[in-house]
Amino acid sequence: MKGKHLSSVLILTAALLVAAYVVYDHRSDTQGNDPLDVYLENEGIDVADEGEVPDYEEVDETGVRPGMLLKDISLPVWDEEEEMSISDFRGDYVVLNIWATWCPPCREEMPELIQFQEDYGDAGVQVVGINNTTQEPNEETVGRFIDEFNISFPTLMARNNEVTLDYQVIAMPLTYILDPDGRIIIRHTGYLDYGVLEEFLDEAKERYEENGEASD
């Protein structure tokens, strides 16, 4: 009897372990795949621990930290047959904004970016958008977003994972402020309003001029 009882306990225990695994495996398959779920889970912030941000300095290394050159990537332009590279915007201070249609703060800050381009476009500033197309349901959704906000600055389409990997896009919106040489001055994850953009531009100009790069 004891042997039968022990066998029954072992069988029941094994059945419970299998059931627990099935439930866990199902949750793993059904959770975390939706970009909005991931965004909300992370509260829209960059979850990477980047440590202390180094001071702006001239280096030839490409990377994602201030002082480094942002990797030059060529991407297709929305609703056009041509491609544009990040280096095409050299000579201007660049506000490079990486966004997605399902991202609430991306939607909230878009009018700020549009107004900023309108106000500073003639003063050597260029806003450039990169849609993280790999995380969109389809490109028609992107088109409706662009039409809704009447986005006037260039929108580049990240149709593969190169931008995500090379620019370390962990959460969105992600914005890089580049100096006229294509060097990173600021990397910012999260919502930006007009006032913060002006502060970032002032900081970019100050750092660029401190390094003796700005022309008189």
Report the residue count for the chain.
Answer: 216
Query: Of 30-39, 94-103, 104-113, 115-124, where does mean pLDDT reach its minimum?
Result: 30-39
Residue 112 has pLDDT above 80, yes or no: yes
Strand partners, 74: 85
Distance CA 119, CA 85 (A): 24
Closest CA to 188 of 105, 97, 109, 57: 97
Please list, in sequence order, all residues whose beta carbon lies within 8 angstroms of the beta carbon of residue 96, skipping any fewer than 6 positions away.
70, 86, 128, 130, 175, 176, 177, 178
Q: Are strands 83-85 and 93-99 parallel, antiparallel or unpaired?
A: unpaired
Per the confidence metrics, is the pTM higher than 0.85? no
Distance CA 204, CA 100 (A): 26
pLDDT digits (tens, 9 = 90+) for 11-67: 444 444 333 333 333 333 333 345 555 545 554 444 333 434 445 555 568 899 998
Q: Is the preceding omega at residue 173 within 30 degrees of 0, hence cis?
A: yes
